[in-house]
Structure 1
Amino acid sequence: MPKLKSIICATIAAGILLPGIASAADATWSGFYGGLALGGTYGQSNPDTASEIGEYFSGDDPVVMKPSLQKTISGSALTGSVLAGYERTRGQMVYGIETDISVMDYSETSAAGPVTYNTNTTVDFNVRTTVETNFAFSIRPKIGYAVGNWMFHAAAGPSIGYFDYDFRYTDTNAGAANDFSKSTLAFGISSGLGSSYKLDNGWVLRGDYVMNYYPKVIDERQSFVRSGFQGSIDHQVDFQSHNLRFAVIKRF
């Protein structure tokens, strides 16, 4: 992905240095458009998950468990997007709205353990947390600035993502594992920056960066009974993605 980032940065730099190669006759960006984009995304979750003091977790158990439950989950994946939008030109300013559907195969896991409890040094525990996502839908109002055949834009708007969350807790106090799974739609915000270059016959090349942030992918309380004692874990998980991509667009 560093290589992809360098290419997109070079595209933006070229747009700043070479606008003189375009003719003023090509300056209009008004109309509908659609296209396809390919890229790479880096995703990260920072769980705020915590065990609750009760029958099963007591004393400083939640303090000991906190680093394992709140371990960062991160990784990368390839992405593909379908884009559609409408733009209107006023002088050199470009206003519009764009929607995209992005698919990816993001699945990352954090694992911790065995960790020994302080108050009961004969008991070790293990934690494994997995976050998966393969779909996002975003609508972003946008504003741009056109210079000849080049256009630079910024955009921001709402986003919906689909997530699978899997959690497993085990310890040496009881043989069975405590699993918690949830599939859900999460609402967040999507923002982006990009540069586009207009070719002949309505074709456009674009490089852009898109960030999606979902503050509440999971907000659930898990209850369980182990060895006759009830325990609970409060799951709080967010997700953010940073997507660098190239797009081929056709204007109509």
Structure 2
Amino acid sequence: GADTDWVWGDMDESDKHSVTYNDGQTGSFQGKLKEQWAGSTRARIGYAVDRWMPYIAGGVAYAKVDSSYRMKDSAGKVVPGFSASDSDTLVGWTIGAGFDYAMTDHIVLRAEYRYTDFGDEDYSKNNVKYNVDYKTNDFRVGVAYKF
């Protein structure tokens, strides 16, 4: 069958590295990704055994992601012209496997592992070029109601 979901994630990840500039000065660059929300629409194929149904699923995924990049000098101040940020809705693919357990004829418990790949995007803003390569690994549990 078909399955669709949407989650408010509010997850973020940041990265920071030290750098040495051409003039010998030191500093750092910082990058940050923040997922505002994510969702997917997938096809699921499974085989029911009594109240259990193991399945595999795959389809299209989408997410609203904010990204930013900043270069800082040794005093911790942002280097003029070397910061950028953007917000984008990414579209990619997802695949996963899990199982449903029917507690009643209408209430279903679910556990699932899902890999999602949104590919990579190149951004260029304020003299800064940066690349966002966004992939997720999720383990999800949930409750569903069947109409």
User: What TM-score bracket applies, with the shorter chain setting the length?
Assistant: 0.7 to 0.9
5+ residue gaps, structure 1, are 1-95, 225-232
Contact 2:124 2:130 in 1 (8 A): yes
Quote the offset at 1:102 in angstroms: 1.3
Structure 2 partner of 1:240: 135
Contact 2:71 2:79 in 1 (8 A): no
Q: Report the CA distance shift for 1:175/1:166 in structure 2 as closer, same or farther (over 3 A).
A: closer
Cα distance in 2, alignment partners of residues 169 and 130 from structure 1: 12
Deviations 1:190-230 (A, max 9, x none): 112111111224211111112221112x3112353xxxxxx
> Which one has more relative contact order, counting CA pairs under 8 Å at least 6 apart?
1
Quote the offset at 1:101 in angstroms: 0.4
Larger Rg: 1
Q: Report the CA distance shift for 1:175/1:234 in structure 2 as closer, same or farther (over 3 A).
A: closer
The residue type paired with residue 247 of structure 1 is G
Identity %, equivalent residues: 27
Quote the offset at 1:242 in angstroms: 1.3
Deviations 1:38-58 (A, max 9, x none): xxxxxxxxxxxxxxxxxxxxx
Structure richer in helix, relative to its length? 1
* Counterpart mapping for 1:192-207 below 5 A: 192-207=96-111
117, 124, 140: which one aligns with 1:213: 117
5+ residue gaps, structure 2, are none
Quote the offset at 1:186 in angstroms: 0.7
Structure 2 partner of 1:182: 86
* Counterpart mapping for 1:111-122 below 5 A: 111-113=16-18, 115-117=19-21, 120-121=23-24
Which runs of at least 4 in structure 1 moved beyond 4 Å after TM superposition? none
44, 62, 66: which one aligns with 1:160: 62
Q: Report the CA distance shift for 1:170/1:153 in structure 2 as closer, same or farther (over 3 A).
A: same
CA RMSD of aligned residues (A): 2.0
Provide the aligned length of Structure 1 versus Structure 2.
Answer: 144
Cα distance in 2, alignment partners of residues 175 and 148 from structure 1: 61
Does 2:71 align with 1:169? yes
Deviations 1:105-130 (A, max 9, x none): 211211122x324x532x22310111
Structure 1 partner of 2:48: 146
